[in-house]
Structure formats: structure tokens, C-alpha cells
């Protein structure tokens, strides 16, 4: 991966089995929990339930309007900050560096593990300037790693051409039946990790194909759809809410594996 050392150096944490190295010494849980703005009122309870069940990956954003609530959940969990992996996202427009600092204040932390540009700007010059702000935040120790979200090929090329620290991750919508394979390959070719959000949004969980595969593995159809992503080495952010069954299912994706034929079938749906 084409990353350059930042001026501020974080101590690397040994990777548990369920983590993937997305930048030098930065190990991200394979599955994170996020609560978009329509779930903001439940963010404290849902995040606390996730952490207490063993989920260490937390995904949020400036625009979700729930970062103070997430901070309350983190404090209530009693889990050491260094054991958690917090991802947040900032808008591309405006004073990006100031928005990064505000995110940290809302989350009551001195750094995040991954800071993303939520969407590219309307023009490539704006996107480049926003990326420079993320690079500055990385160098200052405000973010252990930096990346992008919803970036297409031209957007990714624009920030890669700047040099310095390159994106460690591109977070995009992905699910069975709705995936941009060309962008996945483009992201990987750039040395970055791909992450799926809304991994069940376009999935019919009553689909007969999913139902049969789920029955064969004694898992839920949602787990089959998520495992298809997971098994490709792609990160996942889910929204299980407070439901202990959904949380347990999301955290158990490493407990079974799909066959090559099943993977191919799901890819073709």
C-alpha cells in the first residue's frame, strides 16, 4: 500500500483475527456499526449494545448528527479508547479542517482511527483541497488513517495525484445485486481498501436463492448477504440497531464460509 509516514506516529496495535490492516499499523475491524441520521435518537443505546456485545468498529459522520450520543455510549461502555476503532466523515465543502476538529470535540476524543471525505466536492479542485485538509489532520495526529467515501474513478485519481498520504479506504454503497465491481478493482489498484455501506439495502431477504444458501449453512439470509461481501475481503458497516440477534449475526460472519459456487451465484444476482 502506497502510504507515507505521518509526522505524528501512533503506536501500532496487534491485529485481532477479525481486523484488516488498512494503513501501516492501522488495523480495522472487519465489521463496524453505523447509525445514519434517521436513527440518531437511538445512537447511544444501539452503540452501547454493539460495544458490549464485542463490536469494536464504530462508524459515524458529521451529517448523522449523532456523534455526541455516540460519545456517551463509548464512555458508558467502560471500554478503553484504544480498543475501539472510530470512523467518521466530514463534508467536502467549507472549512474541512475545522469540521474535523469539531468532529473530535463531539466524539470527545483526541483522534479518530479513520477520517473520510463523505462525498467528493462538485469540482475536482475542491476535492483536492479537502484531501489536503485530511492529510494535514493525519500529520497532526487527529486521524490515524484517512480515506474517502462515495468516490468514483476521477475523484480517486485527483487525490492520488497529489502525493503524500494516499487514501487508505473508499467507503461506498454495496450489496448483493447492487455493486460497482469496476470501482472495487479501481480502489484496490490504488492500494486502498474497499468498504461496503448499506449492505442489505437492495437485498430481498426472502429471495429463494438466499433462503436455500442460508438453510444449507444454518444461518440467516442477512448473514449470507453480508458474508458474500466479507468473503471478498471487503470491509462492512452495518446498522443492526439495538436488536441483540442482529448484532450477534453481524459479529459472527467469520463463523461460516460460502462455497465458490455460492459466491458466484450471489455475484451474478
Distances (CA, A) of 244 to 42, 48, 51, 227, 239: 14, 11, 11, 19, 12
Separation CA 33–CA 50 (nearest Å)? 7
With 0-12 / 13-18 / 19 or more C-beta atoms within 10 angstroms meaning exposed / middle / buried, residue 221 is buried
The whole-angstrom separation of Cα 153 and Cα 128 is 14
3-state DSSP assignment of residue 99: helix
Pick left, alpha or beta for residue 137 (phi over 0 → left; psi -120 to 50 → alpha; otherwise beta): alpha
Query: Residue 152 and residue 182: Cα distance in Å, rounded?
Result: 10
Give the pairing type, strands 146-149 and 114-117. Answer: parallel
**Catalytic residue at 64?**
yes
Report whether 232 contacts 32 (CB < 8 A): no
Helix, strand, coil percentages in the chain from 3-state DSSP, rounded to 5: 45, 20, 40
Residues 6+ apart with CB under 8 A from 112: 86, 87, 88, 103, 104, 142, 143, 144
Catalytic residues: 64
Amino acid at each position: 500500500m502506497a502510504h507515507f509516514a505521518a509526522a505524528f506516529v501512533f503506536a501500532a496495535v496487534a491485529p485481532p483475527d477479525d481486523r484488516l490492516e488498512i494503513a501501516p499499523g492501522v488495523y480495522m475491524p472487519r465489521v463496524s456499526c453505523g447509525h445514519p441520521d434517521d436513527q440518531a435518537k437511538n445512537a447511544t443505546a444501539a452503540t452501547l449494545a454493539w460495544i458490549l456485545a464485542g463490536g469494536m468498529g464504530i462508524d459515524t459522520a458529521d451529517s448523522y448528527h449523532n456523534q455526541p450520543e455516540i460519545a456517551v455510549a463509548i464512555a458508558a461502555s467502560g471500554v478503553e479508547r484504544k480498543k475501539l476503532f472510530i470512523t467518521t466523515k466530514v463534508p467536502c465543502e467549507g472549512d474541512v479542517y475545522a469540521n474535523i476538529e469539531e468532529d473530535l470535540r463531539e466524539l470527545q476524543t483526541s483522534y479518530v482511527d479513520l477520517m473520510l471525505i463523505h462525498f467528493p466536492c462538485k469540482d475536482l479542485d475542491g476535492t483536492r483541497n479537502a484531501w489536503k485538509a485530511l492529510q494535514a489532520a493525519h500529520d497532526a495526529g487527529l486521524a490515524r488513517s484517512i480515506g474517502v467515501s462515495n468516490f468514483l474513478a476521477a475523484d480517486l485519481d485527483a487525490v492520488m495525484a497529489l502525493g503524500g498520504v494516499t487514501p487508505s479506504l473508499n467507503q461506498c454503497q454495496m450489496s448483493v445485486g447492487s455493486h460497482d465491481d469496476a470501482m472495487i478493482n479501481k480502489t484496490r489498484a490504488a492500494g486502498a481498501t474497499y468498504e461496503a455501506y448499506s449492505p442489505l439495502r437492495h437485498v430481498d431477504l426472502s429471495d429463494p436463492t438466499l433462503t436455500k444458501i442460508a438453510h444449507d449453512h444454518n444461518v440467516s439470509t442477512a448473514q449470507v448477504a453480508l458474508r458474500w461481501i466479507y468473503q471478498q475481503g471487503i470491509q462492512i458497516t452495518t446498522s443492526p440497531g439495538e436488536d441483540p440477534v442482529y448484532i450477534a449475526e453481524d459479529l459472527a460472519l467469520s463463523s461460516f464460509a460460502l462455497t465458490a459456487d455460492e459466491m458466484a451465484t450471489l455475484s451474478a444476482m
